[in-house]
């Protein structure tokens, strides 16, 4: 069941979204070559604590951290560790907070240090795919059109969308209905309604879209070790159109 939010609830989530986006911006700013991903986890925890929010991921399905730090072929859900970030690594940061009883979730991808053409193209396509998905988030449109539009664009750029993971509704729970895949799914007939708050999150591979678990038991990576990117925003559906709550 899709839980529609009131204007007041969306206002509260917008507050939390601003807090989360500021934290994510600071995490990106502080990321350096030679740094451990565990250092980013410590920074994230401190920033969340100072903000007055709570970690959304810590303890969720036994996840051991507040932040997800996935690198290169890893796409999502990799917990921070003593792994050192190398020059040219393609880093995905995924972070969620709970703010006054409501959850917010976002993810960004960026290359640390030197830039490479393939990684930069992947980032550009991921950012545009997210914009295309958000553009389709309007009252009366069918949910399936979000994923259809994302897939069409991504494949036109000779990349692939991940099929095994999807976007989702969000609110008083981290994951709510509806499921929002990044590919065409004709079974999704439900229409978008005012008051919906969802996370659209294109996950893209430069090679095979199929995934396997990482050694930590939490994360996912491509089966052919191809580069990946992941972008995510929390968005509310309003009369005036989609409102990005976690915009940096």
Strand partners, 94: 68, 107
Give SS3 for 147.
helix
203 within 8 A of 50, measured Cβ to Cβ: no
Measure the CA–CA gap between 144 and 181, rounded to whole angstroms. Answer: 8
Q: What pLDDT, on a 0 to 100 scale, did the predictor assign at position 66?
A: 98
Q: What pLDDT, on a 0 to 100 scale, did the predictor assign at position 75?
A: 98
Going from N- to C-terminal start, the domains of the chain cover 7-244
48 within 8 A of 21, measured Cβ to Cβ: no
CA dihedral 187, 192, 193, 195 (to 10 degrees): 110
Query: Which pLDDT band, with edges at 50, 70 and 90, does 189 fall under?
Result: confident
Query: Considering only CA atoms, which of 202, 10, 212, 16 is closest in space to residue 100?
Result: 16
* Residue 156 neighbours by CB under 8 Å, 6+ apart: none
Percentage of residues of the chain with pLDDT beyond 90: 97
Task: Count the neighbouring beta carbons within 10 Å of the beta carbon of residue 139.
Answer: 16
Measure the CA–CA gap between 181 and 100, rounded to whole angstroms. Answer: 28
Give SS3 for 157.
coil
Cα angle value 91/103/176 (rounded, 5°): 95
201 token code pair: 């999150």
Indicate left, alpha or beta for 188 from its phi (over 0: left) and psi (-120 to 50: alpha): beta
pLDDT at 107 over 90: yes
Per-residue pLDDT tens digits for 221-236: 999 999 999 999 999 9
Give SS3 for 59.
coil
Query: Which pLDDT band, with edges at 50, 70 and 90, does 130 fall under?
Result: very high
Q: What pLDDT, on a 0 to 100 scale, did the predictor assign at position 140?
A: 95
pLDDT at 143 over 90: yes
Give SS3 for 123.
helix
Query: Considering only CA atoms, which of 132, 108, 134 is closest in space to residue 198?
Result: 134
* Residue 171 neighbours by CB under 8 Å, 6+ apart: 3, 5, 9, 13, 102, 103, 197
CATH of domain 7-244: 3.90.230.10
pTM tops 0.75, yes or no = yes
Per-residue pLDDT tens digits for 156-166: 999 999 999 99
H helices present in the chain, as ranges: 7-30, 37-51, 117-135, 144-156
Per-residue pLDDT tens digits for 11-68: 999 999 999 999 999 999 999 999 999 999 999 999 999 999 999 999 999 999 999 9
Mean pLDDT over each residue of the chain, to the nearest integer: 97
What does residue 247 show for φ and ψ, rounded to 5 degrees? -70, 130
109 within 8 A of 90, measured Cβ to Cβ: yes
Per-residue pLDDT tens digits for 65-91: 999 999 999 999 999 999 999 999 999
């Amino acid at each position: 069941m899709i839980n529609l939010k009131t204007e007041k609830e969306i206002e509260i989530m917008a507050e939390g979204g601003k807090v989360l986006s500021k934290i994510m911006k600071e995490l990106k700013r502080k990321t350096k070559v030679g740094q451990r991903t565990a250092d980013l986890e410590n920074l994230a925890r401190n920033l969340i604590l100072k903000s007055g929010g709570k970690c959304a991921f810590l303890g969720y399905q036994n996840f051991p951290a507040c932040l997800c730090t996935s690198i290169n072929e890893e796409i999502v859900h990799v917990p921070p560790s003593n792994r050192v970030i190398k020059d040219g690594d393609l880093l995905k940061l995924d972070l969620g907070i709970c703010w006054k009883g409501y959850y917010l979730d976002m993810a960004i991808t960026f290359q640390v240090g030197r830039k490479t053409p393939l990684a930069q193209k992947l980032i550009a396509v991921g950012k545009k795919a997210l914009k295309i998905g958000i553009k389709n988030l309007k009252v009366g449109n069918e949910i399936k059109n979000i994923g259809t539009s994302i897939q069409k664009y991504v494949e036109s750029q000779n990349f692939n969308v991940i099929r095994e993971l999807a976007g989702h509704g969000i609110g008083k729970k981290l994951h709510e209905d509806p499921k929002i895949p990044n590919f065409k799914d004709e079974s999704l007939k439900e229409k978008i309604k005012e008051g919906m708050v969802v996370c659209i999150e294109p996950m893209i591979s430069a090679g095979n879209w199929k995934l396997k678990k990482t050694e930590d038991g939490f994360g996912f990576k491509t089966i052919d070790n191809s580069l990946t990117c992941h972008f995510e925003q929390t968005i509310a559906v309003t009369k005036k159109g989609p409102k990005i709550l976690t915009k940096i």
